[in-house]
Amino acid sequence: MEKSVSPRQHGLIPIMSFTTIGIEPVRRLTIGVSYIGYLGLYKDSERKTYYQTQGIGGECGWQLFKAKKDGTFWDKGDEIDIRARYGHSIGGGDLKYDLYDAAIIYRYMRSVIDLSLAVGYRFINSHSSEVRNHSNVYLGIGIGI
């Protein structure tokens, strides 16, 4: 599960949540499917409102580094991954979109629950006339089991 927030762009602050089920079919490669929750807080000089929708997506990740022993900056099990993600809105939500995402992720894997911190770039291609396309650098925090 991952939550992310991006800076305001075109009057909109996108807040997104991803619930992902993934597998590791071969060593270092992960693939998964996600349920996407989208909440866009909107404010301009005349009004405040929000856009809410949901989506589905797929992702693919690759493990760049995994610490095999404790070191100065790393402990055994810590890893760095890269990830690419695509998502598409579904249902009758307020916003129709395609989502493209790329991130680098640090995973802190020293217990049963692993924590992650992601820094990435996301482009949302809006299919709604009220909301323009937007792209953001974002921070994400994740919890995995």
Q: What is the pLDDT along the chain (145 residues), one digit of tens a residue?
A: 899 888 888 888 889 999 999 999 998 999 999 999 999 898 777 777 888 999 999 999 999 998 887 776 677 778 999 999 999 999 888 889 999 999 999 988 777 788 899 999 999 999 988 788 989 888 889 998 7
| Token pair recorded at residue 98 | 């395609």
The pLDDT of residue 35 is: 97
The pLDDT of residue 121 is: 95
> Rounded to whole angstroms, what are the CA distances from 64 to 41, 48, 105, 119?
35, 42, 10, 15
Distance CA 121, CA 38 (A): 16
* Every domain of the chain and the residues it spans: 2-144
The pLDDT of residue 82 is: 97
The pLDDT of residue 83 is: 97
Beta-carbon contacts of 57 under 8 Å, excluding residues fewer than 6 positions away, are 18, 33, 34, 36, 85, 86, 87, 88, 99
Distance CA 122, CA 13 (A): 13
The pLDDT of residue 48 is: 75
Q: Which CATH architecture has domain 2-144?
A: Beta Barrel (2.40)
11 φψ region: left (φ > 0), alpha (ψ -120 to 50), beta (else): left
